[in-house]
Amino acid sequence: MKILKNIISTVITAVLFLSLCTMIFFVLSSKASGGEPQLLGYQLKTVLSGSMEPGIHTGSLIAVKPGGDMTRFVKGDVITFHMDEKTIVTHRVLSVVKRDGHVFYETKGDSNQSPDSQLLQSSNVIAEYSGFTIPYAGYFSEFAKSKQGNAILMIIPGILLLIYSVFTVWKALSKLEVKTP
């Protein structure tokens, strides 16, 4: 029974500590990159619409690889780009158009009925979709970026870890006091 209690105690401590470290990583990474967290050279983006369903669901967190030659994409590639100053979109390349030494892409969301209204300049492409998706994790990521999310996700795991540590120390001290003659 004592071994089981020790295992449970270790697991609880590890889970609380890992959740705190994960929250710290996401918050600091988001702040350092100016928005989206990064991991191993990939940016994590939240999907806010259903335009790429069923392959990429609304609320998913996707990994995209920024950089490189943005004129390299071919029909069928999935790219992330600036639709306008504020809107970032991930859609599939339908065709590549070369005009006057410039490369343009015709893009479309998989579930959209028609292609995007304008050709996309290659200079507006920011990344290529890696194929890695975590369904529904984007909702969590968006919450973590908010002020309330930052506070809750940083403070709650820390408080829980502190309470659990105090409880563990108190329990150990009470056992020591009982054993003294």
Catalytic one of 9, 33, 49, 141: 49
Task: Give all strands of the β-sheet with 125-134 in edge-to-edge order.
Answer: 38-39, 42-46, 61-66, 125-134, 78-82, 88-99, 102-108, 120-121
Spatial separation of the C-alpha atoms in residues 43 and 85, rounded to whole Å: 19
Residue 49 is a catalytic residue: yes
Which residues are known to be catalytic?
49
